[in-house]
Structure 1
């Protein structure tokens, strides 16, 4: 068997117990890397490792990405186990399940905003802060998980869209600040059939995005050009490997690969229009309104 693109590298993936995080971690190991997976539920992380053919290539660290001390400990455990850190994948996140501004009270918005930004944005910042020293030593790289919502509206509600736009700016700023020692790039996947959850603040922690996929009627047509493209996270992992590889992308930093099936050339489905807003505020139309 030929050597993989990440032979001998060591990676740390936040949110590595499920979804795209797990898929990326497994792909990295298949490409020759050793991987630390970070998550809030140790039993989930240990379950991932139990499924692997080579558990010695894996390390599970229970940590909350909102806790800087926990993230420093995760990096320390990684270096202690594997001797170095070459690749960081800030990935842990939650989704707002398209909760529009008009469907939430001010208190709900405030709570959901604080929780989602703390995980999806601050969690990325704290992961980078904990890891950058080791990445400089290794001349390593960071590959962030973004989203089609980092570029286009209606990939989520206002909170998720704002958070993913923020992460796009964060990636670019970190690429500037950490050059020339550390490359910083991102992958922006489209929707995936995963266990991605929502904010506890608005009662969505127990809901999985997989539920939405199960309810979707594919006979109505996929709103993307590559209408047969997979929603399996495994099929989104290639760009992560490419960007993490020194040999394959050593001249690339500050860039995002969109792996969204072509949303960028079609756009999302159009909203229903403004009539629902009038209904929400109890507006009664008159001839003067036309």
Structure 2
């Protein structure tokens, strides 16, 4: 019996990265899991990775920017498993540290629309589609946030703004859905994933995993992203807080809270104290 035995979870962006890792961890903790993503191939890979637990996975191809797709995902989840207990709004893209001084106004306008549509509107639409079912089960929401939800230099201006916006969503959701639904988040740090950039900036084929590989191949010593202990930066290492916050037994009194899983950025800071020193 795991921490989430008998629970049903729906995870957006569940085909890769932290969403995939959380899906596999939730399965191991006893939950049935529905995963949403734009790549049917990636979703099926999660089923294969789940092995003998793959029969407890529902794949729902869809786009988090579409309210119809989000409602269809919730309906499919309830149709398959009979209820919905846990929602994990997670799908997102990164801006690869594109700063104010590197883009034109036109580029910012187009990238803003794309990043905020996925990172912010996608969370809002997922919660709008799911809240009725979560009220019925007195369930919970566990949002993927970021070190960039609290601190600078975890991305460029657009990503940082989008993740700050998600923190605001979390707090407002926690207020509006109390006392029926708990709403919490995990502010993750950098990790080796297939997280991509915005198509509007030509970064749709760039991934964090490739960036990690290039840095490692350079032979230049890189500052550790998780400096408090010897650790990999694999998504599976970040899943514990998602389990804790979803657990009715262990977090039943917790809402409106965020667990930072970012290597202690608040106490150590980033490595660049002045971003505009060269202007």
Q: TM-score, normalised by structure 2?
A: 0.96
Q: Within the alignment, does 1:228 sit opposite 2:230 as a pair?
A: yes
The CA distance in 2 between the partners of 1:135 and 1:248, in whole Å, is 18
Deviation at 1:104, TM superposition (A): 0.6
Deviation at 1:269, TM superposition (A): 1.1
Query: 1:136-190: CA deviations, max 9, x gaps?
Result: 0000000000000000000000000000000001000000000000000000010
For structure 1, which segment, 220-229 or 40-49, has the greater mean C-alpha deviation from structure 2 after superposition? 220-229
For structure 1, which segment, 135-144 or 260-269, has the greater mean C-alpha deviation from structure 2 after superposition? 260-269
Aligned to 1:5: 3
Distance change in 2, residues 1:233/1:273 (3 Å):
closer
Aligned to 1:86: 85
How many aligned positions are there?
275
The CA distance in 2 between the partners of 1:136 and 1:96, in whole Å, is 34
**Of 251, 256, 259, which residue of structure 2 is paired with 1:257?**
259
Aligned to 2:173: 174
Query: 1:216-255: CA deviations, max 9, x gaps?
Result: 3572432654152321010100000000000000000000
* Structure 1: tracts of 5 or more residues without a match: 278-290
Distance change in 2, residues 1:18/1:273 (3 Å):
closer
User: Does structure 2 retain, via aligned residues, the 8 Å contact 1:223–1:269?
Assistant: no
The CA distance in 2 between the partners of 1:242 and 1:21, in whole Å, is 16
Query: 1:1-37: CA deviations, max 9, x gaps?
Result: xx10000000000000000000000000000000000
The CA distance in 2 between the partners of 1:219 and 1:190, in whole Å, is 19
RMSD of aligned Cα (Å): 1.3
- Structure 1's consecutive aligned runs of 4 or more residues displaced over 3 angstroms after TM superposition are 271-275
Q: TM-score, normalised by structure 1?
A: 0.92
User: Does structure 1 retain, via aligned residues, the 8 Å contact 2:225–2:263?
Assistant: no
The CA distance in 2 between the partners of 1:178 and 1:60, in whole Å, is 27
* Structure 2: tracts of 5 or more residues without a match: none
Distance change in 2, residues 1:223/1:12 (3 Å):
closer
- Three-state SS of the structure 1 residue aligned to 2:221 is helix
Aligned to 2:212: 213
Aligned to 1:17: 15
Query: 1:54-87: CA deviations, max 9, x gaps?
Result: 2220000001000001100000000000000000
The CA distance in 2 between the partners of 1:275 and 1:260, in whole Å, is 26
User: Does structure 1 retain, via aligned residues, the 8 Å contact 2:182–2:256?
Assistant: yes
Deviation at 1:50, TM superposition (A): 2.2
Deviation at 1:40, TM superposition (A): 0.4
